[in-house]
Structure formats: C-alpha cells, structure tokens
Amino acid sequence: MLDMVILDMDGVVFEGKNFWLEFHDLMGTRKQAMQLWRGLQKKDYSLLSTHTARIWAGQSATSFWRLIEERQLISGIYQLVDYLHINKIPCAIVSSGPYQLAERAQQLLAINTIRANKLEISKDGFFTGVVDVQVDDSQKDLAAIDAMKEFSARPQFTAMIGDTTSDVMIAKVANISIAFNTDEAELITACRSEEHTSELQSHSDLVCRLL
C-alpha cells in the first residue's frame, strides 16, 4: 500500500498548463515576466518570484481571484482522490503555482496538505508585492520531501504524478513516478528510469494503475 501520493497542480489537478502565464496575459505583464524568467529562473527562483510579485504591487487582485474560480478540475480527479481517501492514503499538492488555487483544490477535494507559492493580498483586495515562496520550481523535490515528512511517507512507497520538466526532481525522490498526459521528454525519461513507472492520459487509468 502507498504511503502518499504527490500531485502537481496545473495539468494534473486543474486544466491548463501554466496559471502564472495566463495571469500575466490578463494583467498585460507577460513581456516583463519573460525577461525576468530568462534572467533569473535558473539562478535564483526566490528572487525571480519576488521581482515578479512586485510587478503587480498595488494592483487589484480581482482578475486573480476570477481566474482561480474559473479554473476547471480535470475529469476523473474526484475518482482518484476518492480512491486515496477510501484507502487512507494521504495526498499532497506540490506546485510552484498559486497557493490560493491549491487552497481551492484542498477545499474541493479534501487534499491533505499543500505546498505552493502565495501572493500576499491586502484586506482591501490589492497585491502588496510580497510573495511566500514555498516551492522553488527548480527544486520541487525539497517541498515534496517536506510533505512526505509531514506524513512519515517512505520514498519507496510514495507516488508522484507530474506533467512538466520541473517534476523530474520529485520523480527522483518518489519511487513510483508517473508522467501524466505530457510530451515532456525529460520527465518521461526520468519516470521510465524508475522501477515502477507509468505514462498515463487519464485519472481513470491512474486509479487502475494504483489498484
């Protein structure tokens, strides 16, 4: 029996591949974001996040909340988490996406624990320019290990489900590594290198894989 299942968020729990880029498009800040990304992503993710959050400082968070509420769950995710709950297997979200979206998933699906990046929003609904970085996109394994420790999950009995290259690091600490509905070659290769792997296209297939 599994000790834990770790889920990425965009493309695994919710439809859509990159919440942050969609939000930049809404705010008209994609060009600034890409400049920061090219300069800092591989050097200092926390600094990248800090500078990105400052782009939105003082602006209304209305569009942010709307995008979160409009995000649709991937078909079959309820079946997956129901299976985990019935079998008393803890489930975590580990994502460099927005903490507020992970909170919505937690409320809808009763996810046991979440790790994500939280933009600070003032009581009157404006971005403060501050962000709490819980997940470094280039070191997602650290957040995954932290979640595993919370539930005393052993690596050899932990499964991960991801769809992007940033999930490769989690695949290295979870023995059961699953590339979900993706064509990311590096992730697929990392998953294939483990003893127990799958490349799946639906959560129905995933439940069958876990049975």
Q: Are 3 and 158 in contact (CB under 8 A)?
A: yes
- Give the type of residue at 97: G
pLDDT digits (tens, 9 = 90+) for 171-196: 999 999 999 888 888 888 888 765 44
Confidence class of residue 39 from pLDDT cuts 50, 70 and 90?
Answer: low
Query: Which residues fall within 8 angstroms of residue 83, CB to CB, at 6 or more apart?
Result: 207, 210, 211
Other CB atoms within 10 A of residue 81 CB = 23
- CA of 63: how far to CAs of 53, 59, 70, 171, in Å? 15, 10, 10, 33
Which pLDDT belongs to residue 15? 95
Name the residue among 16, 1, 4 with its Cα closest to residue 155: 4
- pLDDT of 3 higher than 60: yes
Q: Rounded to whole angstroms, how far apart are CA atoms 163 and 161?
A: 7
Q: What are phi and psi of 7, to 5 degrees?
A: -110, 135
Q: DSSP letters along 91-160, please?
A: EEEEEEEEHHHHHHHHHHH--SEEEEEEEEE-TTSBEEEEEEE---TT-HHHHHHHHHHHTT--GGGEEE
Which pLDDT belongs to residue 183? 85
pLDDT digits (tens, 9 = 90+) for 57-89: 999 999 999 999 999 999 889 999 999 999 999
Q: What mean pLDDT is reported for the chain?
A: 89
- pLDDT of 48 higher than 50: yes
pTM above 0.85, yes or no: yes
Confidence class of residue 38 from pLDDT cuts 50, 70 and 90?
Answer: confident
Which pLDDT belongs to residue 56? 96
What is the DSSP code (8-state) at residue 178?
Answer: E
Between CA 135 and CA 145, with CA 141 as vertex, the angle to 5 degrees is 95
Confidence class of residue 46 from pLDDT cuts 50, 70 and 90?
Answer: confident
- pLDDT of 139 higher than 90: yes
Confidence class of residue 209 from pLDDT cuts 50, 70 and 90?
Answer: low
Confidence class of residue 205 from pLDDT cuts 50, 70 and 90?
Answer: low
Hey, what are 10's tokens? 């965009």
- pLDDT of 210 higher than 80: no
Which pLDDT belongs to residue 196? 43
